[in-house]
């Protein structure tokens, strides 16, 4: 069913992390946006919010997962 983009982004990152068995994802914001069918600016804003909450850390071309809850 329909879920908010925030939820879909968290689920997406969790699934990628589990699939690749890593906490460091080499993904561009554009790739994520394309996969989720949204705009890059939206993804970037959500990732920054998640970083402020301590859920992840944004590095150049990488996303380091800290606590996706």
Q: pLDDT by residue (tens digit) across 28-52? A: 999 999 999 999 999 999 999 999 9
pTM, full prediction: 0.89
Using pLDDT thresholds of 50, 70 and 90, give the confidence band for residue 2.
low
Was domain 5-65 assigned CATH 3.40.50.10860? Answer: no
More confident residue, 40 or 2: 40
Q: Could you tell me how far CA 15 lies from the centroid of its own chain?
A: 10
Using pLDDT thresholds of 50, 70 and 90, give the confidence band for residue 65.
very high
- Categorise residue 33: left if φ over 0, alpha if ψ from -120 to 50, beta otherwise: alpha
- In 3D space, the residue among 16, 41, 19, 37 whose CA is nearest the CA of residue 27 turns out to be 16
């Amino acid at each position: 069913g329909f879920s908010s983009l925030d939820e879909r982004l968290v689920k997406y990152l969790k699934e990628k992390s589990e699939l690749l068995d890593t906490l460091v994802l080499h993904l561009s914001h554009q790739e994520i946006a394309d996969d989720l069918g949204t705009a890059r600016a939206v993804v970037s804003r959500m990732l920054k919010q998640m970083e402020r909450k301590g859920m992840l850390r944004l590095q150049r071309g990488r996303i380091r997962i800290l606590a996706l809850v």
